Amino acid sequence: MTDDDFAGVLVFAPSPQVTVTIEDLGGEPDLHVHAGGQGVWQARMIASLGVPVVLCAALGGETGDVLRHLIERDGISLVAVPVSARNGGYVHDRRGDGRVPLAEAAGDPLPRHDLDSLYEAALLHGLRARTVLLSGPSLGRTVPTDAYRRLAADLRADGRAVLADLAGERLDAVLEAGLDFLKVSHEELLADGRATADDPKSLVAAMRELVARGARSVLVSCGGDPALALLDDELYEVRPPVLHPVDTRGAGDSMTAAVAATLTEGGSLTDAVRLGAAAGALNVTRHGLGTSGGHGARELASRVELRRIDAE
């Protein structure tokens, strides 16, 4: 819980995961146990930037008990809604090249009464926030799509800034309610059929369609290529410094989190995108997701280039 004057970022993370990663340490297996999932990684980054953040999540079963401890250990203020449904988790082996999944358990769908409790908690704490970031459940089946639409609509009606890092049906739902800022990857645009190719012209056409459907501004991460940003109808190519990657997973989540943090502090859209690109770039130099230091991201932001482009 947070103080009554909370006006930071509420991260809606309906179903965090327990993550177990096996790495090599001197020829012996080295186990790392963390709270994971998109919303957790985003909240961790926002906290590292020194911006007040609250994570709202449903926690249930043995995995939920473990997650409560792990999230609070990370210094994240937690609004935990006790539910009968179990949280999920995964075990990955990273002792060779890449990640080898050993086991993965999906979180259970929330029964109706549990869903009502989660929605109420997210709404009430969102009304005390300045910015609300909507993140998705890891395997997509915990919370029905319409809950996202209702939450975005209710919070925007009260003047909260609503950001989303979603794709598929959930993105369609929040677009119906309206968004202040949307972060999406080029892979998601292609998978959803919103873009026909991964070239800038096709991606920009998809971004303009997203704005027409309800997103005020859109940021598209493009893997190792420069990101694209459509901010107040101005189109930018976003170029952070090129850094040697250790693990590219989580770069987009760090990017979204830094955007939310900057807008909560009253920064401009361009400043938010610069810090987002810097946080994402630093994240790939580390093994942990959403773990790059806030000070380092702020220092690197001055080296991010935003260049106006015309991709018509």
Question: What 3-state class would DSSP assign to 264?
Answer: helix
Together in a domain, 191 and 161: no
Residue 97 lies in a domain: yes
Q: Is 123 helix (H, G, I), strand (E, B) or coil?
A: helix
Q: Is 170 a member of any domain?
A: no
Q: Which whole-number Å values give the CA distances from 25 to 22, 31, 93, 191, in the listed order?
A: 10, 9, 13, 37
The sheet carrying 305-308 orders its strands as 77-82, 53-59, 9-12, 131-135, 161-165, 181-185, 218-222, 225-231, 234-239, 305-308
The least confident of 57-71, 179-193, 235-249 is: 235-249
Other residues' Cβ atoms within 10 Å of the Cβ of residue 36: 25
Q: Identify which has the larger pLDDT, 106 or 118.
A: 118
**pLDDT surpassing 60 at residue 296:** yes
- Rounded-to-10 torsion of CA 46, 48, 49, 50: 100
What average pLDDT does the segment 130-149 reach? 88
Compute the distance between CA of residue 231 and CA of residue 140 in angstroms, rounded to an integer.
29
Three-state DSSP class for residue 38: helix
Task: Judge if 9 and 128 occupy the same domain.
Answer: yes
pLDDT tens track for 156-202 = 999 999 999 999 999 999 999 999 999 999 999 999 999 999 999 99
**Is residue 289's pLDDT more than 80?**
no
Per-residue model confidence (pLDDT) at position 217: 98
> Same domain for 101 and 214?
no
Residues of the domain holding 304? 180-312
Compute, in degrees rounded to 10, the torsion defined by CA atoms 143, 107, 48, 2.
Answer: 60
Compute the distance between CA of residue 277 and CA of residue 241 in angstroms, rounded to an integer.
Answer: 9
- 116 shares a domain with 47: yes
The Cα–Cα gap between 21 and 312 comes to: 44
Among the listed residues 96, 100, 61, the one whose alpha carbon sits nearest the alpha carbon of residue 82: 61
The reply to whether 303 and 242 lie within a common domain is yes
pLDDT of 290 > 70? The answer is no
- Indicate whether 111 and 211 sit together in one domain: no
Residue with tokens 């103080």, as numbered in its chain? 3
Q: Is residue 261 part of a domain?
A: yes
Q: Residue 220 forms beta bridges with which residues? A: 184, 228
Residue type at position 219? L
CATH number at residue 202: 3.40.1190.20
Domain count for the chain, please give it.
2
- Dihedral sign computed on CA atoms, order 60, 63, 65, 69: negative
Single-letter code of the amino acid located at 61? G
* 145 three-state secondary structure: helix
Is residue 206 a part of any domain in this protein?
yes
Structure confidence by residue, pLDDT tens digits, 81-102: 999 999 999 999 999 877 899 9
The pTM (predicted TM-score) of the whole model is: 0.92
